[in-house]
Each structure stands twice: as C-alpha cells, then as structure tokens.
Amino acid sequence: MTSSPRTVSILGVTGSVGQSTLSVIEDLRGQGAEIEVAAVTAGGNLPALADACRRLRPKFAAVADPDALAPAREALAGLGVEVGAGLSALEEAGARPSDWIMSAIVGAAGLAPTMAAVRRGAAVALANKECLVCAGPLFIEAAKTHGARLLPVDSEHNAIFQVMTHPDRVEKLTLTASGGPFRSATLEAMGRATPDQACAHPRWSMGRKISVDSATLMNKGLELIEASYLFGFPEEKIDIIVHPESVVHSFVHYVDGSVLAQLGTPDMRIPIAYALSWPDRAPVSTTRLDLATLGALTFEAPDAQRFPALDLCRQALRAGAATTTAVSAANEIAVSAFLDGKIGFLNICRVVEEAMTALDRSDPGLIAKSPTSFDQVAAVDQAARGAAQRIAGRLAAA
Ligand code: NAD
Ligand code: MG
C-alpha cells in the first residue's frame, strides 16, 4: 500500500461521508497500510466523535461549539487526543500538517477549515459542495497558488475525474441524475408532496437537506455549478441525463466521438477510496457491480417544466460567481421552509427564483461581481437568505 498517504485528516468525521471515510481507512489499515490520523472534526455529536477517536487515534480533535471544550475533553479522556473547540479549532484541524484531508463538513461551515488545508498545499478530497458552489473561483485560485490538489469526492465529479484522460480533448461532460423520488410523478402529485415523500430517495441514503435537493433536482443543478468550476467548463458544455439505476456516475465526451464513463454501485466508499489512493487504486471491500442481475441501464432527458432548478442553476452560472452563492443560500432557506411544513414542494424553486429577481432589483452590484473574499461570500449569502425568508414567509401566509 505504498501509494496511500501516511498522514490524513477528516473534517466532519461523524457525518455520512466522514463515517464512510473512516471505514475505508480501517479497511486499508486491516490490510497492513500505515495510515496515521492528524486531525478530525465534528459538529456536536460527542459519542460519535469519541468512537471515531478510539478507532482512528488522531492527534487532534475539534468540535464546532466553542462552549463544548470541557464536555469534549471529558468524552475523549484517556485517548491521548488534544482537543479544541470553536471555529478556530476547526480551522486548526484543516491547517495541521497531513498529506491528505477529507472535507466532509456540511454547508458553509466547511469553507474556512477546507481553505486552511488548501493554503498548506495538501491533497484535499472535496465532498463538501459549498466550497465550490459558494466560492468556486476562490478555491480554484487558492489551489493553484498553493499547489494544493483538489480530489473530487461527489460521485459524479469523482467519476469525471477518473476518466479525464485528455482534459484538452474534451467536447462536453454529462452528469447523471437518479431523477429522485418524483421522476415520474405528475406536477399535481409533486404539489402535494410531503417532506417524508421528498426524502425517500430511491437509490442513495443521505441527510434530509440533500435528499430534498435530489427530489427537486437542485442537487444536480448545484453539481453542474460544482463541475463547471472544478473542470473549467461553461454550462452549455455540461449536459444532465436522468439515469434511474445510478450505476453510471457520469460521462466525458471526447473530440473523436469516444465517450468514457465510470460505473459502480451507489456506494460513497468507492469515490472516497479512489480519492484516498489516487493516483493508484487500493483494494477496498465495497459492494461489487453485478451487470447480469441489473439487466438494463436506462437514460432519459430531464423534464425542465417539472424540475426548474436545473435552468435556475444554468442561469446563475451564466450570470456570474456571486449568483451561484445566492442560489445555494436561497435554496437552503426554501428547503428548510418546506421541511418545516411552511411551503409546498413546488414553491422551493419559486422561492429561489423570486429571491434572485428580488436581489437583482434591490442590490444589482452585490451579485454581479465575483466575490474575492469569504467576507464578500458571506454578504451575498446573508442577502440571499434574507430575500428568500421574506418570499417564503409571504408564500406561507398565502
Ligand atoms: P452529514 O450531515 O451526514 O455530516 C456532516 C458533518 O459535518 C458531521 O460530521 C457534522 O457533525 C458536521 N457539521 C455539521 N454542521 C457543522 C458546523 N456548523 N460546523 C462544523 N461541523 C459541522 O453530511 P454528509 O452527507 O456526510 O455530507 C457532507 C458533505 O458532502 C455535504 O456538503 C454533502 O453535500 C456532500 N456530499 C455528500 C454525499 C453523501 O452521499 N452523503 C454525496 C456527495 C456529496
Ligand atoms: Mg452527487
């Protein structure tokens, strides 16, 4: 296992991607790989953090809540782990030396710790979407300046990365989408959809926010933005195709008509293992693909009328960097209003669309230019959240 990095860190070790990363590391260690863990972080789940520390034996563990230092020290007592709490501790976890780091904190909270890792030139396995969706140009530029390697973990982007053999000879990319739970639902049925129905994803088991995003196809729109920044393609060179089996994770189309794809069962341990062992491949005991049992793979065009999120994200990409930050923030507000039972499913995209129009009218300068700092990203994020709150409030009262 000579190609495995010697020292790794995991931001968001208690989450779904964090736990899958832990499991891949244990698998490789069980085969004799020497992997040391420099740092791990968690939001607030101390029992899960303690379990991860017992298994990984990191040198440093950080919790998000600044008031949780004493209980965290107690929970991790006897494990030989140095403990930190608060935003600066999360950043320290990103900044501490390691060859490789998993960025798997959910949301904008992941930006600063991930940037700390980018600034020290680490290999950064990027699961967190917000780094690119909210601050894509900042991350791409910083990675270039500091010699950091961004290794995509989102399954579609990881698939493209795996088959990106000739970056200068690519005609277009195609991202696959499962289609979510409402792939063949009528608009009327979608209008009546409950949070539980929207969260019942047919293929992947994920948190509620990303599950609702998969139901509206906003997740695919955000992934289109992610792909555009990551691989340097304009939106018109990135297609989306619905592929309900979720076996082909994306396609790269080359100038000679060849199309390369990466296939695998819908198991996040596969892209994580690839990012961890890159540029090699490591033997990992993931669920294997059985094509004969599967029988057929199907594809269909997405329905733009029932899933307006895709066009919204394309418009945002065309409009410029701050607009993608605003779409992501407005969507977060709309999704929580839906999950709280305040607005209907079809109003999620309506809130995002109206918030973009309202922002454009009230403060056109704000979203017209590319943010050059996290402070500017935060200003756009706040303005978009405010606009979305007002619109969601109005729709809830109607
Ligand atoms: P999750 O909610 O299961 O875990 C998130 C982690 O972040 C946890 O460790 C949590 O404690 C921590 N966290 C939450 N709020 C925090 C805060 N304010 N400060 C610090 N830490 C905080 O999420 P997940 O499903 O593992 O997803 C992580 C990221 O990866 C997301 O950006 C998601 O979009 C992306 N992603 C996930 C999947 C998947 O299959 N789950 C696939 C592709 C991409
Ligand atoms: Mg994905």
**CA nearest 24: which of 48, 45, 41, 1?**
1
The domain defined by 320-397 folds into Rna Polymerase Sigma Factor; Chain: A (1.10.1740)
Strands 170-177 and 238-242: parallel
> Is the beta carbon of 265 within 6 A of some atom in ligand 1?
no
Per-residue pLDDT tens over the stretch 356-386: 999 988 887 888 888 899 999 999 999 999 9
Per-residue pLDDT tens over the stretch 381-395: 999 999 999 999 999
Per-residue pLDDT tens over the stretch 299-310: 999 999 999 999
**What's the average model confidence in pLDDT over 19-32?**
97
Residue 204 has pLDDT above 80, yes or no: no
Q: What is the pTM of this model?
A: 0.95
Give the residue, by CA position, lying nearest to ligand 1 atom 43. Answer: 154
Mean pLDDT of the chain: 95
Give the residue, by CA position, lying nearest to ligand 1 atom 42. Answer: 154
Domains 6-153 and 320-397 share a fold: no
- Beta-carbon contacts of residue 196 (< 8 Å; ≥ 6 apart): none
Tell me, what's the pLDDT at 4?
52
Q: Which ligand is nearest to the CA of 155?
A: 2
Least confident of 8-17, 33-42, 210-219, 313-322: 313-322
Residue 205 has pLDDT above 80, yes or no: no
Which atom of ligand 1 is closest in space to residue 205's alpha carbon?
40
> Is the beta carbon of 201 within 6 A of some atom in ligand 1?
no
Tell me, what's the pLDDT at 1?
43
Give the residue, by CA position, lying nearest to ligand 1 atom 13. Answer: 43
Residue 220 has pLDDT above 90, yes or no: yes
Tell me, what's the pLDDT at 3?
55
Tell me, what's the pLDDT at 107?
86
Residue pair 22/14 in contact by the 8 Å Cβ criterion:
no
Which atom of ligand 1 is closest in space to residue 43's alpha carbon?
11
Per-residue pLDDT tens over the stretch 105-148: 998 899 999 999 999 999 999 999 999 999 999 999 999 999 99
Tell me, what's the pLDDT at 360?
87
Give the residue, by CA position, lying nearest to ligand 1 atom 32. Answer: 128
Ligand 1 centroid to Cα of residue 96, in Å, is 21
Burial zone of 283 (CB within 10 Å; 0-12 exposed, 13-18 middle, 19+ buried): exposed
- Helix count and strand count (H, E) for the chain: 18, 11
Q: Which ligand is nearest to the CA of 180?
A: 2
Tell me, what's the pLDDT at 201?
81
- Tell me the three state secondary structure of residue 88: helix
Between CA 397 and CA 237 the distance in angstroms is: 41
> Is the beta carbon of 39 within 6 A of some atom in ligand 1?
no
Tell me, what's the pLDDT at 2?
46
Host H or E run for residue 116:
helix 111-119
Per-domain residue ranges for the chain? 6-153, 157-294, 320-397
Of the candidate CATH numbers 3.40.50.720, 3.20.20.70, 3.20.20.210, 3.40.50.150, the domain formed by 6-153 belongs to 3.40.50.720
> Is the beta carbon of 220 within 6 A of some atom in ligand 1?
no
Tell me, what's the pLDDT at 5?
62
- Beta-carbon contacts of residue 169 (< 8 Å; ≥ 6 apart): 254, 255, 256
Tell me, what's the pLDDT at 266?
93
